[in-house]
Amino acid sequence: MKFRTAVEINDSEKKIELEDHIFSIGSCFSTEISELLETGQIQSLNNPFGTIFNPFSINLAIRKIHLSEFYTEQDLIGYDNQVISLDHHTSFDSRFSHQTLANINAKIEEANLFLQDANWVLITYGTSFIYEFLPKKKLVANCHKIPGKYFEKRLLTQQEIMDSIRETIENLNDICKSDVQILFTVSPVRHTKDGMMENTLSKSKLISAVHEVLPQFENCHYLPVYEILMDDLRDYRFYQEDLIHPNSQAVQYIWEKFGNAYFSDRTMDFVEENFRIMKALEHKPNDETHPKYHEFLENLKGRIALQQTKVKFPIFQKST
């Protein structure tokens, strides 16, 4: 008897290889995957504008990066002793405009250079809802806790979503490597503050638009992450305490399905060994002077050195 509806990720003909660069952008789920890629010592860059959720704002970010278009003071606003970009996550806020601009523009430059070498792009859409900042009549990525009276909330139209997706793909195809593969997902995280029915409408618009646009591009593919959590893992034991975000077990399950479908055998072996090394690096001994611990460290250094021979870029820079 079957007791669950398994959702599979189709095996990819093109595989992620050891030297590949993977760029990710979008909701917090893209950050979860990016952190696992980083742990596995795969070259990756995630969310140079911070976490953003809607297709319009993600497209704006990609356009700015593609053009290497830097922000100026005219693009910022001041609120609550902070200098803010409404196109960015709150992590870019600072007390001074030059600091905010320096942080923003450094990330644009870094992302532009990274995308020129990118073999893979992962885009995760979170919502079809968007807010307009009324004083500037500007659609924004983040409201930065500015009072709601300054904003008007609405759903992006289906055409706006499709146009954003299409322009995003065209800009990525222009700046990335010629054989770049672009993977689209819809975040399984429910935006409950919008309302449950409203969240369903929002997600359905995203899924519909992605499936409408992607067949026009041979290098674009849909990953059924949303469907895996909604249909395969439909049990609250796979959620965090907020009952909204997937827990580590669910993320690991999706990660394994993604790896099985997209990693080459060499990449899979490389990543799995790096995971084991990272876990060993977290070990805290009772006695750091014990000969057995020094033997353990020497063995670990040898394993890292062996892994380093497999790639041309530095690994474990943040851990050793």
- Taking Cα atoms as reference points, which of 157, 28, 171 lies closest to residue 89? 28
Strands (E), 156-260: 181-186, 220-222
The pLDDT of residue 29 is above 90: no
What is residue 105's predicted lDDT score, i.e. its pLDDT?
A: 98
User: Considering the domain boundaries, does residue 76 fall inside one?
Assistant: yes
Domain residue limits at 31:
21-264
Task: With H, G, I as helix, E, B as strand and everything else as coil, classify residue 198.
Answer: helix
Instruction: Identify which has the larger pLDDT, 295 or 179.
Output: 179
The HSE-up count of residue 149 (CA atoms within 13 Å, CB side) is 0
| Tokens found for residue 101 | 């601009």
Residue 10 within any structural domain of the chain:
no
Q: Is the pLDDT of residue 291 over 90?
A: no
C-alpha span between 58 and 127 (Å, rounded): 11
What pLDDT, in 10s, does the model give residues 183-226? 999 999 999 999 999 999 999 999 999 999 999 999 999 999 99
The DSSP code sequence of 111-130 is: HHHHHHT-SEEEEEE--SEE
User: Hey, what are 15's tokens?
Assistant: 């595989």
- Asked if residue 311 belongs to a domain, the reply is no
Q: What is the DSSP letter of 249?
A: H
CATH number at residue 32: 3.40.50
- pLDDT category, 164, cuts 50, 70, 90? very high
Question: Dihedral angle at the C-alpha atoms of 8, 14, 19, 21, nearest 10 degrees?
Answer: -70
- Which sign does the torsion angle of CA 25, 29, 35, 37 carry? negative
Residue 273, domain member (yes or no):
no
Evaluate whether residue 41 is within a structural domain.
yes
In a domain, residue 78? The reply is yes
Q: Is position 168 within any domain? A: yes
Position 189 scores a pLDDT of: 93
Q: Strand 77-79 and strand 82-84: pairing? A: antiparallel
Q: At what angle do helices 291-308 and 265-281 cross, to 10 degrees?
A: 150
Strand, helix or coil for residue 239: strand
Q: What is the DSSP letter of 243?
A: S
Residue 238 to residue 257: CA distance in whole angstroms: 16
9 domain residue, yes or no:
no
| pLDDT tens column, 213-265 | 999 999 999 999 999 999 999 999 999 999 999 999 999 999 999 999 999 99
Question: Looking at the 3D structure of the chain, how many domains does it have?
Answer: 1
Q: How far apart are CA 310 and CA 209, in angstroms?
A: 40
